[in-house]
Amino acid sequence: MKLFENTKKGFFIARPNRFIIECMVEEKKVRAYLPNPGRLKELLLPGSTLYMVSQKSSCKYKYMCVATEKDGVPVLLHTHLNNRVARYLIEHDRIPGLEGAEVIRPEVTVGSSRFDFLLNHKGKEVLLEVKSCTLFSGKIAMFPDAPTIRGKRHLEELKMLSGGNRKCAVLFIVHSNAPEYFLPDYHTDLEFSKTLLSVSQDVMVKAVSVSWNKDISLRKTVKDLIVPWDIIRNEAHDSGSYIVMLKLNKSMDISVGSLGNVRFKKGYYLYVGSAKKNLSSRIARHQRRRKNLFWHIDYLRKYADHCASFPLRASSDLECEIAGALNEISQWNILKFGSSDCGCDSHLFGISDDPSHLPKFINLLLDFRINRLEYLLTACKCK
């Protein structure tokens, strides 16, 4: 299966908005259309290789970006083509558990909802929803990479519609052959993850990985991924650690409770904390500027803008380990800030450039959110 006749190489520069990227194509800086609403922070790094196709002359942008590269292998980004891939896999009996299924209709409306396919499988109707997954690291793939209320609703509707002569299924297509496991991304979207867990008795949950050749043709190998339900059940809770990113627009002295007067340089600050329960409301509290001053971070938040928060949900306590890793990638820290109860020098780290674009910070998140799960998977031997 080949999706495009001709592709050109490009190199990623920036993403001014969700559907537009800036890149170099044939040594010229151009803007191009990106048909993917995901965050893609882990894939689109400055200098990342892109696969571009020419668009019709009536289109606003000359090029469209259809794929990028990770570890030298193309990763399909064109989410609108994901259903073509799904159809090919179904019609070629490549989805374990759905061998022999036939497509009755794509884009099928049931009640007020629309699903990707209606299939006939051994005389039974199967309603199938397909999701494209491009978030992966090592042996693990996760979905979604941005919260999806629509995705959660789809799962609930599939559960309601299953029964009698109708089966319902959700298929995650992971665009890399490296992963062996698939998990919902409970760090980014806990609600979606809990919903997937709660519907898994009634809705068939399938995850397969595919991979692409350099001419964006589909490789033969399709892998059936393991969904480690026990680990998801254990880890997908509103508890664990978090990193809050703040930006201080000018250098200043700030009085920080028991620490007294502290000099803060202008720049970005990464603060690590943890919550044994209600992690989401703790993060929401850090986002608010007006509140009683309780934690050290509250004093800084009075003067600094909130940029982003990153939950790192886990059953184990990773806070101080994350602090150690942030210490390695940052430029300075504020001594004893947020670390009165532990042995760390600090839980607040400074960096002059926006960390959300820095590979070392993105990799740190991947390490604690995804790579760390490999230990749990090896220990439990989920099969």
Closer residue to Zn ion (CB): 47 or 343: 343
CA distance 267 to 246: 8
* Binds Zn ion (CB under 5 A): choice among 254, 320, 362, 376: 320
Other residues' Cβ atoms within 10 Å of the Cβ of residue 150: 10
Residues that contact Zn ion, how many (by CB under 5 A): 5
Site for Zn ion in 231-250 (CB under 5 A): none
In sign, the C-alpha dihedral spanning 32, 38, 41, 43 is negative
Provide long-range contacts, Cβ within 8 A and 24+ apart, for 302-307: 302/254, 303/248, 303/252, 303/254, 303/264, 304/246, 304/247, 304/248, 304/249, 304/269, 305/246, 305/247, 305/248, 305/249, 306/244, 306/245, 306/246, 307/245, 307/246, 307/247, 307/268, 307/354, 307/356
Least separation in angstroms between CB 297 and Zn ion: 14
Give the interface segment with Zn ion, choosing from 7-15, 108-116, 119-127, 313-321 (CB under 5 A).
Answer: 313-321
**334 touches Zn ion by CB under 5 A:** no
Give the interface segment with Zn ion, choosing from 170-178, 191-199, 238-246, 319-327 (CB under 5 A).
Answer: 319-327
Closer residue to Zn ion (CB): 300 or 322: 322
Q: What phi and psi, each to the nearest 5 degrees, are found at residue 263?
A: -85, 125
Q: How many CA atoms lie within 13 A of 206 on its CB side?
A: 23
CA distance 21 to 135: 19
CA distance 200 to 132: 19
Closer residue to Zn ion (CB): 48 or 339: 339
Binding mask 25-44 for Zn ion (x = CB under 5 A): --------------------
Least separation in angstroms between CB 322 and Zn ion: 9
Q: How far is CA 171 from CA 22, 90, 196, 234, 368, in A?
A: 32, 11, 12, 23, 26
* Binds Zn ion (CB under 5 A): choice among 149, 284, 335, 342: 342
Q: Find tokens 């909130």 and name the residue.
A: 306
Binding mask 343-372 for Zn ion (x = CB under 5 A): -x----------------------------
What single-letter amino acid sits at 62?
K
Closer residue to Zn ion (CB): 24 or 320: 320
Least separation in angstroms between CB 298 and Zn ion: 18
Closer residue to Zn ion (CB): 27 or 341: 341
Binding mask 264-303 for Zn ion (x = CB under 5 A): ----------------------------------------
Closer residue to Zn ion (CB): 201 or 258: 258
Closer residue to Zn ion (CB): 284 or 342: 342
Give the interface segment with Zn ion, choosing from 310-318, 338-346, 351-359, 361-369 (CB under 5 A).
Answer: 338-346
Least separation in angstroms between CB 329 and Zn ion: 16
Burial of 285-315, coded b for 16+ CB within 10 Å and e otherwise, reads bbeeeeeeeebbbbbbbeebeeeebbbbbbe
**327 touches Zn ion by CB under 5 A:** no
Residues that bind Zn ion (CB under 5 A): 320, 323, 339, 342, 344
